[in-house]
Structure 1
Amino acid sequence: MKIANLSPDSKIWIYQSNRKFTDSEVAQITEKGSEFISLWNSHGNMLKAAIEVKHNLFVIFGVDEIQAKASGCSIDKSVAFIKEIEARLKVSLLDRMQIAYKKEDEITSSHLMEFELQLKSGHLNENTIVFNNLVTTKEEFDSSWELPVKDSWHKSLL
């Protein structure tokens, strides 16, 4: 299942890598992720879930909670899966201080402090497109994942 096929109120979790994945790594994540979600359950109830890699940089989980709600234990299992990817591919996916943004139609990322310096120096501005990895629902993902700094939480860094 694709993230696009989940209902608007589905839960979303976004994990950003500290580097871009190769196409081979994306294939590995997709294969292992499909295996994971085919067995992913919450207290014995199968979760209607999706996993995708976007822009070779983001691993995104989605759960449509109409069928079954994701419990603390099931969420812990997904974090364990993310940690397995980190170990296998030697990447960091849990560093929330990395900010992804578009610069000249390329997606790049930098540490929050470096991103703030680039904003203050004028290398980036309020119209720079950023990725808001704090979205929590499919509806928010569709409408507010990619947006200008001026319309995101990042505006506090201006």
Structure 2
Amino acid sequence: MIFSPQSRVWIYQSNRKFSSVEEIEILHKLEAFTSQWKAHGNELMAKAEIRYGFFIILTVDESQANVTGCSIDSSVRIIKDIEQSYHVDLFNRFNMAYKIGEEVHVQGKEDFETLVNIKQITTKTIVFNNMVQTLQELETKWEVPFENSWHANVFAHLL
């Protein structure tokens, strides 16, 4: 399947890395979900993936059928089910993800702020902007240097 660059994406970030067994199980659940995901009876062209062991990404190409409130609710239900089954936090927007080399780390807001303060996280550190909304933004604006992210505005007083 080829997805349009304008396809909608939703990113759910875990507070801890999934084990390889968990990742396989979760992907099976998500594939079963996306294969039957509908909006007002119309099949949605959708896919799910896990990146870096932390990020569940749902993608829907709306050129076939538009996502509706009900279809979004059903996706939230499956994510909440995963959250409970695997004892992870997928909805806490105060967890910040960043990369050191190729390794992803997730910290709570206070710990992240401390790392910025003590210069463990610098203006060049890659951070994740989980608020991207399209596949194109996912590919171009999801992993960005701290200085080019919304994080820089929130933590500007520490730079």
Name the TM-score, length of structure 2 as normaliser.
0.94
Structure 2 unaligned blocks of 5 or more: none
| Alpha-carbon distance in structure 1 between the residues aligned to 2:14 and 2:81 | 13
Select 1:102's aligned residue among 99, 109, 119.
99
Give the structure 1 partner of residue 54 of structure 2. 57
Q: What SS is found at the alignment partner of 1:12?
A: strand
Shift of 1:113: 2.3
Give the structure 2 partner of residue 32 of structure 1. 29
Q: Deviations for 1:65-122, whole angstroms, at most 9, x for unmatched residues?
A: 0000110000000000000101111111111111110124321010122212211221
Among all aligned residue pairs of Structure 1 and Structure 2, give the percentage whose two residues are the same amino acid: 43
Is 1:146 the counterpart of 2:129? The answer is no
Is 1:77 the counterpart of 2:85? The answer is no
| Alpha-carbon distance in structure 2 between the residues aligned to 1:105 and 1:56 | 12
| Alpha-carbon distance in structure 2 between the residues aligned to 1:130 and 1:6 | 25
117-126 or 56-65: which moved more? Answer: 117-126
Q: Which aligned segments of 4 or more residues in structure 1 are displaced greater than 2 angstroms? A: none
CA-based RMSD of the aligned residues comes to 1.0
| Alpha-carbon distance in structure 1 between the residues aligned to 2:47 and 2:102 | 27
Structure 1 unaligned blocks of 5 or more: none
Mapping of 1:118-157 within 5 angstroms? Answer: 118-156=115-153, 157=155
| Alpha-carbon distance in structure 1 between the residues aligned to 2:110 and 2:136 | 29
Q: What SS is found at the alignment partner of 1:73?
A: helix
Mapping of 1:7-26 within 5 angstroms? Answer: 7-26=4-23
Q: What SS is found at the alignment partner of 1:135?
A: coil
| Alpha-carbon distance in structure 2 between the residues aligned to 1:62 and 1:27 | 18
How many residue pairs align between the two structures? Answer: 155
91-100 or 113-122: which moved more? Answer: 113-122
Q: What SS is found at the alignment partner of 1:102?
A: strand
| Alpha-carbon distance in structure 2 between the residues aligned to 1:63 and 1:104 | 30
Name the TM-score, length of structure 1 as normaliser.
0.95
